[in-house]
């Protein structure tokens, strides 16, 4: 079947070695008129150099406030099959492992009731079903829950779908059970995930080690990053094997060739705290100076491993620029064991959310509220004591907000006594 | 029981959450959970993880366009059924990993993937450029200044040699966000492609009171540039255009303030961010090129600009240095000199906390 819309500009994107989304959409467009219209609309955007989607409307499934994003095109006169083209977010299994039977069933549902187009996956981690009509939302939701055992993810001012790295499922460095933590958070806060109740979005992400493969420190309002408190485990024989050229440095990340590792230049000199020494036979690590950056472990994965006293550093407040500028997460709990049932963590989350919901303005992320009211206010609210691990440096301005309770006599002054000591 | 459109509460399931994480684990992952000892990249895109039990799990990583169809996913399933007992996973950067336990199936899988035209490029491991994480762009978003999928396709076509090889000093993570909302969180990427507006929104006075909550629009402006104003009979707003920095937040709150513009919009390129803590702490991306016009369908200036950054970095950086570490070593004056990018007033911060980015030392290079 010939496609209705000519797409000469988009056709240029069918060329080249990288997989082409245009080629992919085109083959579905042969049998799905909405995909044909989607290509036509996109071609119009390429011509106009402006997008052609309107703001989302209020659509969703009954009882949920999130998980569906309404989408309407602004040229339904030209492209009636994408007049309504809503997005559904499906909560992905932690770390995105799948079995083909579930993916095939998902394809069947989505071929029948939607556009047949996905994002695998969206930026926050959900499987994105890209384009359906209002009347299909409930049937799709019913089939997702009944046939696949899958549920919608978050959108709007709610907890967004949490995400974690591959963790203990397939990584030797994971200091925490990221899958279990993410699953626990997701299940415990289903209400917060599906029914907007916050000032704005709230994201949890968990990475198993400071390499931070899900970018938790840059993207999550609450970042859970695995770490350890004791010593790096060393296999001295394996260190010698790297230096002797018997093992491939960096796990082969720079190429599969075995070559003698220049341990001084490639490991010791790259250590941020210079906490290592190599005497030609043994590697000495002064663990008290180590900041657990992972570089030496990354370069010699068969010789070095994280320690055994493992847990997580909890950081808060990361976000992209809108509104107050981009922020990274800041350390608030340097170490927490993070063992099931994670009660200590959840108590912290409860206090954090209470404070944010009480003080946060509309569309104010947690990190922005902390910036506005100060980290001390936050620490007070969640019951944490100050710790030098929370800062890069103590302040260098002298403008300290003191509490009257911290000053003898409070802020009450005896004017008469003052004037007895000083003439006006 | 099938869905009953006349009784949507019948047999309704809600808040069941996602399938439990181990439901789709291959048996080898269940058996070796938390017992992995080390990994190696055997060739670009092919990993082996070795357990303390001696078990070996091979993963073959392929790049995708992220925006994919049911036909594509079904083909992926055919491959996973044939070689991987039906198990596979996706990475955070939208790559697929085919998980193989039977070593004899590894080479046939790789050969098979390579035989399927350009759908399944193998790579994205180690010191490479892996799939570009990105947002929706003109394909499906309501606030974009640029397309996403098209730019990503054009850039990855050009940088393809770096996807399936390990010839860079370190990994280079590229990300794209089609507006300042940054759903793609590009703000800590080695190279970030960001859609930007350059014209203040215009006001459709006759629509504002019907489609917008005026107090929310006013509160949404980070520079307090919006005030309420009666325009004729309409309750509307006015914008102090000199204070607008084109974030688009007011448009997000009010569709009667269109900001997209075919001449105003385009691409900014940022460099030097990272999220990992290895060696140096995480860093934000910084502005390299403030504006490149939208040039669909192949975005040649964006492609050329990114190639320039990658090539200068590849020839100049030391082993393991990320782009941000390399720039910190050579200095920004050298970065602009070596890339040939023009240094303009836009590079000097004039927003909040701008002072933290100005030079307060005589230590610089001539």
Residue of B259, B275, B300 to mutate for A, most A C-beta atoms under 10 A: B275
Closest CB to B65 among A21, A51, A71? A21
In Å, how far from its chain's centre is CA B327?
Answer: 21
As a whole-number percent, the residues of chain B with pLDDT over 90 amount to 95
Count of CB atoms situated within 10 Å of the CB of B167: 13
**A326 vs B: CB within 8 A:** yes
Contact B138 A52 (CB under 8 A): yes
Is B179:A321 a contact under the CB 8 Å cutoff? no
Confidence of residue B352 (pLDDT cuts 50, 70, 90): confident
At A14 the pLDDT is 98
**B262 vs A: CB within 8 A:** yes
Q: Chain A 161-180, CB below 8 Å of chain B: which residues?
A: 163, 165-166, 168-172, 174, 177, 179-180
What CA–CA distances, in Å, run from A135 to A139, A290, B11, B159?
8, 58, 19, 43
Kindly report which listed range (A66-70, B185-189, B293-297) carries the lowest average pLDDT score: B185-189
**A248 vs B: CB within 8 A:** yes
Q: What is the nearest CA distance from B366 to chain A, expressed in angstroms?
A: 27
Residue B101 has pLDDT above 90, yes or no: yes
- Name, in order, each residue with C-beta under 8 angstroms of B220's C-beta and a sequence gap of 6 or more: A323, A363, B226, B249, B250, B252, B253
Q: What is the nearest CA distance from B37 to chain A, expressed in angstroms?
A: 5
Confidence of residue B1 (pLDDT cuts 50, 70, 90): confident
Structure tokens belonging to residue A298: 């990354």
Confidence of residue B139 (pLDDT cuts 50, 70, 90): very high
pLDDT in tens, A221-237: 999 999 999 999 999 99
pLDDT in tens, A401-413: 999 999 999 999 9
**A64 vs B: CB within 8 A:** yes
> What number of residues does chain A have?
424
DSSP A172: T
Angstrom distance (rounded) from CA A1 to CA A53: 27
A92 → chain B, closest CA residue: B18
Kindly report which listed range (A53-57, A148-152, A306-310) carries the lowest average pLDDT score: A53-57
Q: What is the nearest CA distance from A305 to chain B, expressed in angstroms?
A: 9
Q: What is the nearest CA distance from B104 to chain A, expressed in angstroms?
A: 20
Contact B94 A120 (CB under 8 A): yes
Structure tokens belonging to residue B342: 């023009």
Structure tokens belonging to residue B229: 């104003």
Residue A117 has pLDDT above 80, yes or no: yes
3-state secondary structure of A269: coil
pLDDT in tens, A285-343: 999 999 999 999 999 999 999 999 999 999 999 998 887 888 999 999 999 999 999 99
Q: What is the nearest CA distance from B230 to chain A, expressed in angstroms?
A: 25
3-state secondary structure of A73: strand
Contact A120 B68 (CB under 8 A): yes
Question: Which strands, in side-by-side order, build the sheet including A68-69?
Answer: A68-69, A86-90, A127-132, A117-120, B67-69
pLDDT in tens, B263-318: 999 999 999 999 999 999 999 999 999 999 999 999 999 999 999 999 999 999 99
At A58 the pLDDT is 81
Angstrom distance (rounded) from CA A153 to CA A165: 18
Q: Chain B 322-351, CB below 8 Å of chain A: which residues?
A: 351
Angstrom distance (rounded) from CA B261 to CA A250: 47
Strands in A246-290 per DSSP E: 276-278, 283-285
**A238 vs B: CB within 8 A:** no
At A325 the pLDDT is 82
The residue among B37, B152, B21, B33 whose CA lies nearest residue B93 is B152
Residue of A37, A45, A51 to mutate for B, most B C-beta atoms under 10 A: A51
> Phi then psi for B98, rounded to 5 degrees?
-85, 125
Mean pLDDT on B118-123: 98
Residue A185 has pLDDT above 80, yes or no: yes
Mean pLDDT on B104-115: 98
Q: Chain B 168-207, CB below 8 Å of chain A: which residues?
A: 171, 177, 180-188
The residue among B138, B143, B136 whose CA lies nearest residue B252 is B143
Residue B51 has pLDDT above 80, yes or no: yes
Structure tokens belonging to residue A275: 């906490």
Residue A57 has pLDDT above 80, yes or no: no
Q: Would you tell me the crossing angle of helices B149-158 and A21-29 to the nearest 10 degrees?
A: 130
At A389 the pLDDT is 98
Contact B16 A149 (CB under 8 A): yes
B12 → chain A, closest CA residue: A142
Residue of A75, A82, A83, A119 to mutate for B, most B C-beta atoms under 10 A: A119
Is A207:A214 a contact under the CB 8 Å cutoff? yes
Angle at A136 between CA B19 and CA A139, to 5 degrees: 50
Q: What is the nearest CA distance from A310 to chain B, expressed in angstroms?
A: 13
3-state secondary structure string across chain B? CCCCCCCCCCCCCCCCCCCCHHHHCCHHHHHCCCCEEEEEEEECCEEEEEECCCCEEEEEEECCCCEEEHHHHHHHHHHHHHHCCCEEEECCCCCEEEEECCHHHHHHHHHHHHHCCCCCCECCCCCCECCCECCCHHHCCCCCCCCCHHHHHHHHHHCHHHHCCCCCCCCECEEEECCCCCCCCHHHCCEEEEEECCCCCCCCHHHHHHHCCHHHHHHHCCCCCEEEEEECCEEEEEECHHHCCCCCHHHHHCCCCCCCCCCCCEEEEEECCECCCCCCCCECCEEEEEEEECCCCCCHHHHHHHHHHHHHHHHHCCCCCCHHHHHHHHCHHHHHHHHCCCCCHHHCCCCCCHHHHCCCCCCCCC
Residue B69 has pLDDT above 90, yes or no: yes
At B4 the pLDDT is 92
**B80 vs A: CB within 8 A:** yes
Mean pLDDT on B17-24: 96
Confidence of residue A87 (pLDDT cuts 50, 70, 90): very high
Number of A to B CB contacts under 8 A, please give it: 389
Angstrom distance (rounded) from CA A278 to CA A104: 54
**B151 vs A: CB within 8 A:** no
Closest CB to B86 among A99, A250, A298? A99
Angstrom distance (rounded) from CA B172 to CA B323: 7
Q: Chain A 65-84, CB below 8 Å of chain B: which residues?
A: 71
At A1 the pLDDT is 60
Angstrom distance (rounded) from CA B150 to CA A120: 16
């Amino acid at each position: 079947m010939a496609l209705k819309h000519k797409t000469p500009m988009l056709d240029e994107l069918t060329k080249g070695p990288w997989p082409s989304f245009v080629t992919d959409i085109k083959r579905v467009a042969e049998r799905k008129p909405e995909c044909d219209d989607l290509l036509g609309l996109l071609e119009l955007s390429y011509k106009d150099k402006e997008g052609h989607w309107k703001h989302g409307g209020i659509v969703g499934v009954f009882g949920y406030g999130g998980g569906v994003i309404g989408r309407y095109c602004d040229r339904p006169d030209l492209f009636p099959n994408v007049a309504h083209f809503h997005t559904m977010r499906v909560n992905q299994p932690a770390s995105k492992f799948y079995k083909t039977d579930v993916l095939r069933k998902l394809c069947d549902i989505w071929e029948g009731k939607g556009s047949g187009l996905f994002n695998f996956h969206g930026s926050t981690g959900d499987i994105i079903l890209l384009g359906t009509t209002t009347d299909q939302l409930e049937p799709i939701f019913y089939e997702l829950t009944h046939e696949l055992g899958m549920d919608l993810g978050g959108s709007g001012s709610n907890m967004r779908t949490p995400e974690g790295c591959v963790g203990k499922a397939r990584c030797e460095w994971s200091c925490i059970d990221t899958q279990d933590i993410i699953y626990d958070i997701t299940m415990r806060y289903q209400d917060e995930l599906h029914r907007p109740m916050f000032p704005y979005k709230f994201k949890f992400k968990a990475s198993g080690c400071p390499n931070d493969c899900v970018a938790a420190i840059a993207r999550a309002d609450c970042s859970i990053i695995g770490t350890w408190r004791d010593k790096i485990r060393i296999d001295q024989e394996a260190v010698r094997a790297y230096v002797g050229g018997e093992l491939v440095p960096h796990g082969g990340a720079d190429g599969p060739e075995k070559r003698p590792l220049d341990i001084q230049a490639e490991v010791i000199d790259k250590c941020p705290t210079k906490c290592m020494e190599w005497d030609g036979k043994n590697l000495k690590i002064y663990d008290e100076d180590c900041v657990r950056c992972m570089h030496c472990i990354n370069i010699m994965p068969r010789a070095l491993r994280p320690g055994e006293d493992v847990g997580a550093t909890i950081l808060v407040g990361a976000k992209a620029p809108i509104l107050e500028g981009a922020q990274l997460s800041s350390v608030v709990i340097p170490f927490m064991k993070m063992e099931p049932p994670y009660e200590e963590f959840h108590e912290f989350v409860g206090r954090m959310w209470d404070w944010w919901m009480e003080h946060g303005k509309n569309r104010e992320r947690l990190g922005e509220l902390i910036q506005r009211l100060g980290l001390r206010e936050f620490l007070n609210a969640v019951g944490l004591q100050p710790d030098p691990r929370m800062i890069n440096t103590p302040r260098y301005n002298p403008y300290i907000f003191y509490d009257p309770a911290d000053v003898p006599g409070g802020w009450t002054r005896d004017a008469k006594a003052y004037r007895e000591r000083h003439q006006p | 029981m099938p869905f009953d459109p006349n009784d949507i509460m019948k047999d309704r399931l809600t808040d069941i959450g996602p399938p439990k994480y181990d439901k789709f684990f291959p048996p080898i992952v269940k058996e070796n959970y938390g017992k992995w000892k080390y990994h190696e990249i055997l060739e670009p895109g092919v990993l082996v993880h070795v357990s303390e039990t001696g078990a070996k799990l091979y993963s073959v990583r392929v790049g995708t366009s992220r925006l994919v169809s049911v036909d594509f996913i079904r083909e992926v399933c055919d491959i996973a059924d044939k070689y991987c007992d039906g198990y596979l996973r996706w990475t955070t950067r939208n790559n697929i990993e085919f998980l193989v336990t039977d070593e004899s199936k590894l080479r046939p899988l790789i050969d098979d993937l390579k035989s399927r035209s350009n759908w399944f490029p193998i790579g994205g491991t180690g010191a490479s450029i892996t799939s570009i994480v990105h947002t929706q762009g003109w394909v499906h978003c309501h606030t974009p200044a640029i397309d996403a999928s098209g730019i990503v396709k054009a850039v990855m076509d050009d940088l393809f040699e770096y996807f399936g090889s390990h010839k860079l000093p370190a990994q280079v993570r590229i990300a794209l966000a089609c507006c300042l909302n940054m759903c793609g969180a590009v703000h800590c990427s080695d190279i970030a492609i960001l859609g930007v507006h350059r014209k203040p929104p215009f006001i459709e006075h006759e629509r504002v009171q019907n489609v917008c909550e005026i107090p929310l629009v006013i509160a949404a402006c980070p520079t307090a540039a919006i005030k309420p104003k009666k325009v004729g009979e309409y309750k509307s707003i006015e914008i102090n255009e000199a204070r607008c920095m084109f974030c688009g937040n007011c448009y997000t709150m009010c569709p009667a303030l269109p900001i997209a513009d075919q001449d105003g919009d385009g691409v900014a390129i940022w460099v030097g961010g990272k999220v990992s803590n290895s060696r140096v702490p995480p860093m934000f991306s910084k502005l390299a090129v403030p504006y490149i016009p939208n040039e669909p369908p192949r975005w040649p200036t964006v492609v050329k600009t990114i190639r320039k950054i990658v090539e200068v970095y590849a020839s100049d950086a030391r082993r393991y240095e990320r782009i941000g570490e390399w720039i910190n070593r050579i200095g920004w004056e050298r970065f602009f000199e070596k890339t040939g990018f023009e240094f303009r007033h836009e590079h000097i911060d004039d927003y909040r906390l701008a002072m933290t980015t100005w030079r307060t030392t005589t230590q610089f290079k001539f």
